[in-house]
A and B are shown apart, each in its own frame.
Chain A
């Protein structure tokens, strides 16, 4: 696909990864990875620990440089037009990235400043996003006082303040209790369905998948299967996604 780089976001594909390979000093972390993420859809990047999910995220967010293959965000090549590409991207990292000693509001204002969003608009958007997650009353509290689930909600709110087209979440429910997990999974799916966001959600927990989701199964750095939930189950002749996942990620080194 050779679309002009600055074409507006009329196409449904919001994130394209093509032939992406990456190695650390000795170990190959990603091998010829290609897939795409569409607007209004939740794409689940499913893989066990060490599959290469975090490496992939580091490449998309340009913490590491892409040496082989390409990543395109809303038509902008991440390597060549980094600024434009990154402005379309919201990220929730695996580890918490909030300042513990600052309040919810201060953390969010920091983010709007980084994205150049001015006072009034920033205030309005922060209110909107926090209200949507039922966190607005807690805006004056320090992060340290919040529990894990609430911290995650703040991070999700933050990732949306600059109105990105693509939202990346790197195992956002790790370490949360079941009700918190449930509400975050639901909220993110609603963002895709109601607000047209393209979501890429990395996880190793199959119960976070909804029937309408797209799947990308990653294992040992390469893609084992892609398609809708139903397709993946069918292609692997499995009864359930749980079984399909087991089958696709069996350790074939031994």
Chain B
């Protein structure tokens, strides 16, 4: 197996995912509507009630919409990561995952390629969202949009790997709702996506701690700083470590001789 084989396979996997996404219009629209509802309705409603003090990376007082935008970018990636990884479970039963698994490449490589494909789709969504937010006058310096790209790749990989990990260990996947309630919502609300950490500390130290160690918070902070052209080292290292950890466990989970495939095999 030459490196050309690997390259072609990855191109094939990423290309397929992007094509599918473009073809499935409803999916595209619903992926955009969710964060826009938050931005236009939720954030507008809270605009007056929440005074956000100056905290880095912001240099002036900011509107709540501005604060929440990186959080919503994170949300797009969180949903996308969960959805694309969980769809793999479904795929595995339904078959298209099996076609991938019988191709003569190492399984870890196939999983990483799948992950990269999912991340590519999420990045597409994020930039469309940011373009709409721009029209709504949530503007960041233009370099920020460039710096954002590597941050999005890392945060997308981390959240996708988390989804993969869940998909390899969740025994039976009845529907997406369970994952929403038990994973996505707690992760989203217990993070810095909607309110800054110091604000949380005022109400509950305990919650503050949880939010601080929530990898999603760190992904959001990475995105937030990148959008303003700054590099948050702590968030970067935290997100990177979380990615490596999740991915390693996920690969073990998908390994037929060590993982959980057997336990789910019964019919």
Interface residues of A (CB under 8 A from B): 24-27, 55, 58, 61-65, 79, 82-87, 89, 91, 93, 95-99, 101-102, 106, 109-118
Contacts and interface: CB of A to CB of B under 8 A. Distances in A.
Contacts of A112: 12
B16 interface: yes
Interface string B201-219: 0000000000000000000
Contacts of B262: 24, 64-65
Nearest to A85: B104
Nearest to A106: B19
B199 interface: no
A63 B8 contact: no
B52 to A, nearest CB: 43
Interface string B59-101: 0000000000000000000000000000000000011101111
29 contacts: A24-B265, A24-B266, A24-B267, A25-B263, A55-B265, A61-B101, A63-B101, A63-B256, A65-B256, A65-B261, A82-B104, A86-B102, A86-B103, A87-B104, A89-B102, A93-B95, A93-B98, A95-B94, A97-B96, A98-B96, A99-B20, A101-B23, A110-B12, A110-B13, A113-B12, A115-B9, A115-B104, A116-B4, A118-B8
Contacts, number: 103
A115 B103 contact: yes
A25 B9 contact: no
A79 B15 CA distance: 30
A63 B100 contact: no
A146 to B, nearest CB: 16
B181 interface: no
A61 B12 contact: no
A63 B261 contact: yes
A102 B19 contact: yes
Given A25-B263, A99-B96, A62 B8 contact: no
Given A58-B265, A63-B261, A83-B106, A114 B13 contact: yes
Contacts of B9: 113-116
Contacts of A83: 1, 104-106
B2 interface: yes
B5 interface: yes
A65 B4 CA distance: 28
Contacts of B103: 86, 114-115
B257 interface: yes
B248 interface: no
Nearest to A107: B16
A85 to B, nearest CB: 8
B124 to A, nearest CB: 17
B55 interface: no
Interface in B11-53: 11-13, 15-16, 19-20, 23-24
